[in-house]
Structure 1
Amino acid sequence: MHVVHDGPRTASPLVLIHGSGASGASWGPVVEALAGRHRVIRVDLPGCGRSPAAAAYDVPHQARRVAELLDDLGLRDVPVVGHSSGGWVATSLAEQRHDLVGSLVLISTATSLDALQPQPFILRALLAPPFGPLLWPRRSDAMIRRGIGATMVRPVEIPDDVVADLKNTTYRTFRKVLRCNGAYVSERSTPDRLADLDVPVLVLFGAADPRYYPATARRYDAVPNTRLEMLPGVGHMPMLEAPELTSELLLGFTVAAADTPTP
């Protein structure tokens, strides 16, 4: 996988996992603040951004790829942050390799498929047949920005590298990723999976998320050792829409989790 390291190599590590079809570039606005305290490790999952295509895209397989990376780096007990479907990859990583994950942060991660709202036309056109296979290869920068913007609640400047990396993801790969993500959360909901994990969890969810019904995030309240923060006036992309607040909450949680004695 393509990996980007930010911050001092001697600092405590922090892994960031992007959502479907995106890349590590989507974390850009929060990296500077996080790298002031952490060794930030941003991955491009298989077939996304600058990582090559893979033979399989199921969530447990993607999690194993992240586990291989952490093993190669000799890291253990790491805070792992996932945005949207990246939260499912982070959860699967904790399910498979509890030794690697010290705490979890899920940002805009759906509890289940019934949390999905009716999607704006631009997203339906880009993501689904019959228009998707035709439009996807012809996406302009402006069209990509419109698609990302449809997941937010106010105009936000979208970094050029986010757009460029999204162009590298093929339509076929994106559809495979979506199907595999759906299979993972259909098998068992995110709160049910978290309930079996003995790790501290922070959930950040935009109170105005247009992609997933914000009210469904309250299902996380029933999960032990889990704290839910609803972000007012924020949609599906807190890293882009509210980078200062997102960074502050992430740093506060990672410090507190690191100071919590292991049972």
Structure 2
Amino acid sequence: MPHVFLPDLRLNVQIEGPETAPALVLIHGLGGDLRLWDGLVKHLPHHRILRMDLRGHGQSDTPEPPYKMGTMIRDVERLIEHFGLKDAVVIGVSLGGMIAQGLAVKRLDLVRGLVLSNTAPRIGTVPQWQERIAAVETSGVGAIAEASFQRWLGRAWRDNPALPALRDTLLATNPKGWIGAASAISGTDFYETTATLRLPTLVIAGANDGSTPPDLMRETADLIPGARYQLMRRVGHLPMLEDPPAYADLLNGFLTAIGHN
């Protein structure tokens, strides 16, 4: 996979698909990497797709924490500009969805539409994030793994076929990167700015998601006039990993409806 060398940072990226095709930008969540989207990309053969490992994740550089949400938004903004993508639909899950919201507010000239998956303008509370950060500082990412899997996948998380890949990725995350990005989430509240957005938006919720539950996702959709809300059954926080074909069907329906195909 290629790296993009920014002045202050090296980011691991993957870009694929026809160069002249409509652009999609895929942004993973906390403790993930660009492989989260592997099962989805094969269902999107007619798009130019950019995905990346966020700072502190995967094969990208890990600056010292904490990170600011504005800095993480700027990282994605610079990658879009680096590859010369225009009028992209930005698809973000969890932390990636927060980045997508901030990017659309900042650079509406780059963003044609949004897919906000299992995310919200604000996720969790500051005390919750402080507790998790303290646990990772003391004992590593493994300290929050089981609680995370239960929130993400639901009560039957131990039997979820997505668990092995999810576990491997989370436990391979650099603790400094996890702490840095968790700090960015903790300090972010985009309710007022997201409510100013006026662009085609699809909001996707998972019925078994304990991190960003369906009610929170519907509230997020209600902030953006005309946003479509879709609830996926039998999946949790990471539906693109748990059921890629069903997720792709929703995504392709949205892209077709807005003429981005």
Q: Does 1:231 align with 2:232?
A: yes
Alignment of 1:248-263 (within 5 A): 248-258=249-259
CA shift for structure 1 position 165: 4.4
Following superposition, the deviation at residue 101 of structure 1 comes to: 0.3
Contact kept, 8 Å, 2:133 with 2:182, in 1: the verdict is no
Of 178, 182, 202, the match for 1:178: 182
The residue matched to 1:151 in structure 2 has which SS?
A: helix
Residue 86 of structure 2 corresponds to: 76
Could you tell which deviates more after superposition, 208-217 or 84-93? 208-217
String of CA shifts for 1:184-233, please: whole Å, max 9, x gaps.
12xx32xx433212211100001221223322222123530211111122
Query: 2:222 is matched with which residue?
Result: 221
Q: CA deviation at 1:53?
A: 1.4
Partner of residue 24, structure 1: 34
SS at match of 1:129: helix
SS in 1 for 2:187: helix
Q: Does 1:51 align with 2:56?
A: no
Q: Distance in 2 between matches of 1:50 and 1:166?
A: 13
Q: 1:94 to 1:135 in 2, by over 3 A?
A: same
Runs of 4+ in 1 over 6 A off after TM superposition: none
Map of 1:152-231 to 2, 5 A cutoff? 152-153=153-154, 154=156, 155-158=159-162, 163-185=167-189, 188-189=190-191, 192-219=192-219, 220-231=221-232
The match for 2:47 among 38, 53, 69 is 38
* TM-score, structure 2 normalization: 0.81
Is contact 2:235-2:242 (8 Å) kept? Answer: yes
Question: CA 1:110–1:222 in 2, change beyond 3 Å: closer, same or farther?
Answer: closer
Q: Is the CA contact 1:19–1:85 (under 8 Å) kept in the aligned structure 2?
A: yes
In structure 1, the gaps of 5 or more residues are none
- C-alpha contact 1:47 1:173 (8 A) present in aligned 2: yes
Letter in 2 for 1:254: L
Q: Give, in whole Å, the separation in 2 of the partners of 1:115 and 1:107.
A: 19
TM-score by length of 1: 0.81
Q: CA deviation at 1:115?
A: 8.5
- Cα–Cα, structure 1 residues 73 and 259, in superposed 2: closer, same or farther, change >3 Å? closer
Please give the secondary structure, in 2, of the residue aligned with 1:234: coil
- Contact 1:145–1:163 under 8 Å retained in 2: no
In 2: Cα distance, 1:6 partner to 1:217 partner:
30
Task: Call closer, same or farther: CA 1:193–1:225 in 2, change over 3 Å.
Answer: farther
* 1:2-32 Cα distance to aligned partner (Å, 9 max, x none): 1112333332221100011211111122111
Post-superposition offset of 1:234: 1.8
Q: How many matched pairs?
A: 244
Alpha carbons 1:44, 1:51 under 8 Å: kept? yes
SS at match of 2:86: coil
Q: CA deviation at 1:152?
A: 0.9
In structure 2, relative to structure 1, the CA distance for the partners of 1:147 and 1:222 (3 Å cut) is: closer
Q: 1:14, 1:38 within 8 Å by CA — same for their partners in 2?
A: yes
Equivalent residue, structure 2, for 1:86: 96
